[in-house]
């Protein structure tokens, strides 16, 4: 037997789903994340331009090596080691900038409070034994 689909239940479920989706989308975290992704993509283009237009020519000029290097392998195929090196440089720059930004934001969020160092008290055997005796005496009273 097929289960009959109740149209009201279906409409209510879809309204509930849409309502949940609206709540999810309008949360601040999701909007912040979307803005971060857009800014990150734009920043990625800037870093790529920096690497291609400034860093690679400096490497070419100093070392005499071409960053857009290729190694020919069998069958007319090439290994584009220069493109890989450029991607690695882009990654390192992006990771460094994100690290500095995160460190700055964390410092701002904590209000530049230095963490208080809590000294850990190391208990000797004598101290532990004396504490046990104290606890036993408390129990007797």
Q: Which residues of 105-129 are buried (b: 16+ CB within 10 A; e: fewer)?
A: eeeeeeeeeeeeeeeeeeeeeeeee
Structural domains in the chain, sorted by start:
7-114 (1.10.1200.120)
pLDDT at 16: 78
Backbone angles phi, psi at 68, to 5 degrees: -85, 40
Burial of 22 (0-12, 13-18, 19+ CB in 10 A): exposed
Do 43 and 86 meet the contact criterion of CB atoms below 8 Å apart? no
pLDDT tens string for the chain (141 positions)? 455 566 666 666 677 788 887 777 777 677 777 777 888 888 888 888 888 788 777 777 765 555 566 777 888 887 777 777 778 888 888 888 878 888 887 888 787 565 555 566 778 888 888 888 899 888 887
Do 44 and 82 meet the contact criterion of CB atoms below 8 Å apart? no
CA distance 130 to 56: 70
Q: What is the pTM of this model?
A: 0.45
């Amino acid at each position: 037997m097929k289960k009959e689909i109740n149209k009201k239940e279906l409409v209510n479920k879809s309204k509930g789903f849409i309502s949940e989706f609206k709540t999810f989308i309008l949360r601040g975290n999701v909007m912040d994340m979307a803005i971060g992704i857009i800014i990150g993509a734009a920043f990625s283009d800037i870093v790529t331009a920096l690497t291609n237009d400034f860093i690679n020519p400096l490497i070419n000029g100093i070392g005499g090596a071409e960053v857009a290097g290729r190694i020919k392998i069998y069958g007319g195929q090439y290994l584009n080691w220069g493109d890989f090196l450029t991607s690695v440089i882009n990654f390192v720059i992006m990771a460094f900038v994100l690290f500095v930004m995160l460190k700055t934001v964390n410092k701002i969020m904590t209000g530049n409070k230095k963490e208080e160092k809590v000294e850990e008290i190391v208990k000797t055997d004598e101290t532990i034994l004396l504490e046990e005796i104290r606890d036993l005496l408390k129990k007797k009273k």
